[in-house]
Amino acid sequence: MADKSPFRQELEAAVLERHCANHPMTQKWAKGDLGRRACMGWAVEHWHWISNMVQEASFNICAKAPPDVVELELENFHEETDPEHSHLDIVLRFAEANGADLDAVRAGRGLPTTRSWVAWLKWVAKEQPWHCAVAAIRIGTESQSPMLYSKVLPALRDVYNYPEPAIEHFWLHAEVDIEHGDRGFAALERHCTTRAMKDEAIHWARESAVMRWFYFDGIFLHYENDYALA
């Protein structure tokens, strides 16, 4: 792989400051010590996050972005919502493997921390320039997947002993989000041609990582530590 540009290194460093692969919940999960209720809760809240955010945020980015970024956004949206292989259904499969009532999940709203995370991402996509929203969603969030999910996959297989279909979300996104993240970085590298644009992208990538960490806090507190947020 070619050497990374200084701009990409700055973006990655901003996300690493609060990367969810290093969250206390993830650390516990990677050891196989996280309770099944919290495993279920992660899937429930992930479903509420994606299902309530992806369409509005993606289309608001498309309304302002150049054609190559619109193509990137639409491809990602169609992958997430493909009726033949919906990524949302894969998440629900893991929730069900941990005892979730899927009708109750679909009828719910998610934790306040999840709703805050969703509202923030949609606000960035609507109110900020497109490169800020791409930095928040594709870099601050999506680019975390390979490191995050690779960290917990061994425990999901060898400690929790989930069947492979139940953990498809993890092994799928540990792989496909490498490409997705690379395309997000490349789009910003192409279009952020001034120092001001680069600094804005770095800022929103960092803020997004902080907000996702806070979202993880909610899951960990509520489902693992029995702190009643809902």
* pLDDT, tens digit, 9 for 90 and up, residues 29-43: 999 999 999 999 999
**Angle CA(70)–CA(72)–CA(73) in degrees, nearest 5?**
65
Looking at the predicted structure, is the pLDDT value of residue 92 above 90? yes
Q: What are phi and psi of 38, to 5 degrees?
A: -70, -35
Find where tokens 């493997």 sit. Answer: 97
Looking at the predicted structure, is the pLDDT value of residue 176 above 60? yes
Residue 4 is assigned to a structural domain of this protein: no
pTM recorded for the entire structure: 0.93
Provide the sign of the torsion angle of the four alpha carbons 192, 67, 64, 138, taken in this order: negative
Looking at the predicted structure, is the pLDDT value of residue 189 above 90? yes
Residue 18 is assigned to a structural domain of this protein: no
* Total tally of structural domains belonging to the chain: 1
pLDDT band at 114 (very low <50, low <70, confident <90, very high): very high
Residue 1 is assigned to a structural domain of this protein: no
Residue 49 is assigned to a structural domain of this protein: yes
pLDDT band at 52 (very low <50, low <70, confident <90, very high): very high
Residue 12 is assigned to a structural domain of this protein: no
Residue range of the domain that includes 128: 35-224
What single string gives the DSSP state of each residue in 107-127?
H----HHHHHHHHHHHHHHHH
Q: Quick one: angle between helices 67-81 and 36-62, nearest 10? A: 150
Query: 160: which residues sit within 8 A by CB, 6+ positions away?
Result: 32, 36, 39
Whichever domain contains 81, its CATH number is 1.20.910.10
pLDDT band at 3 (very low <50, low <70, confident <90, very high): confident
Residue 84 is assigned to a structural domain of this protein: yes
pLDDT score at 79: 76
pLDDT score at 82: 67
Averaged pLDDT for residues 53-60: 93
Residue 194 is assigned to a structural domain of this protein: yes
Residue 6 is assigned to a structural domain of this protein: no
Averaged pLDDT for residues 177-187: 81
